[in-house]
């Protein structure tokens, strides 16, 4: 359902269900150009998203337009919920499927009891190192730029909060989970650290953001469907 041009200028919060392989930037651009085409908005038309999703993740991307772009920091600070899959027994440099497996580990000792008990140790305030393949800046360059250039970088651990870490399916080497966490939590790092805590290895093989605060992906729409409905 399309709204009058003035509504988008005044400000809207759009719930977008980002497809797999799309960058957050691509999703914002799709919405931006669809709105510009429909309403002939000037180049100064404001639009932005409230929290990046990796290309290999799907799910809730909140896009704010017009005056509501001022709400972005507030939305970014809200609790986030994700569901996904961790594959045990192997690690990758990016902690997900962006890079190839670089090491393998035993999994024969891992039981359901061990998995559930270990998951509980991650709940609460934890220290976490962001993945080396991330967009955080260090020495004027993004970490992934250092990583791709083969440069060793010292990454400092950051404080983050895991409110819930629920294991929803165990079919080794795969484990499905649901997690709620604070701003700045890297689920890829959680997958890596979880594998390590199990005396094995782990990497993220699927991720979906389902909620940000009270906003739910079930009320979301894909960028292409948004464009078609305009």
Q: Which residues are catalytic?
A: 54
Buried (b) or exposed (e) across 73-87, using 16+ Cβ within 10 A? Answer: eebbebbbbbbbbbb
Cα 194 from Cα 89, distance rounded (Å): 11
- Under 8 Å between Cβ of 112 and 76: no
Give 139: exposed, middle or buried? Use CB within 10 Å, 0-12, 13-18, 19+: exposed
Would you call 219 exposed, middle or buried from its count of C-beta atoms within 10 A (0-12, 13-18, 19+)? exposed
Rounded CA gap, 125 and 119, in Å? 13
The answer to whether 63 and 14 have CB atoms below 8 angstroms apart is: yes
CA atoms within 13 A on the CB side of 9: 10
Determine which helix (DSSP H) or strand (DSSP E) holds 33, and give its type and residue range. helix 24-39
DSSP state of 10: H
List the structure tokens of 92: 């990758």
Sign of CA pseudo-dihedral 200, 204, 205, 208: positive
Q: How far apart are alpha carbons 22 and 55 in whole angstroms?
A: 5
């Amino acid at each position: 359902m399309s709204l009058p041009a003035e509504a988008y200028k005044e400000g809207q919060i759009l719930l977008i269900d980002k497809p797999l392989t799309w960058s957050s930037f691509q999703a914002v651009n799709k919405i931006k150009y669809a709105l510009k085409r429909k309403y002939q908005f000037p180049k100064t038309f404001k639009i932005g998203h409230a929290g990046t999703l990796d290309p290999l993740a799907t799910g809730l991307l909140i896009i704010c337009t017009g005056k509501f772009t001022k709400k972005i920091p507030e939305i970014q600070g809200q609790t986030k919920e994700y569901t996904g899959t961790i594959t045990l027994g192997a690690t990758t440099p990016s902690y997900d499927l962006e890079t190839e497996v670089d090491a393998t580990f035993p999994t024969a000792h891992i039981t359901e009891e061990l998995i559930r008990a270990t998951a509980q140790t991650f709940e609460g305030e934890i220290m976490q190192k962001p993945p080396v393949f991330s967009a955080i800046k260090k020495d004027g360059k993004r970490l992934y730029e250092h990583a791709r250039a083969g440069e060793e970088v010292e990454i400092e651990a950051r404080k983050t909060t895991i409110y819930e870490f629920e294991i929803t399916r165990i079919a080794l080497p795969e484990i499905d989970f649901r997690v709620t966490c604070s701003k700045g939590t890297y689920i890829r790092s959680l997958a890596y650290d979880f594998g390590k805590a199990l005396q094995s290895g782990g990497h993220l093989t699927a991720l979906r953001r389902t909620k940000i605060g009270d906003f739910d992906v079930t009320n979301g729409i894909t960028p292409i469907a948004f464009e078609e409905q305009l």
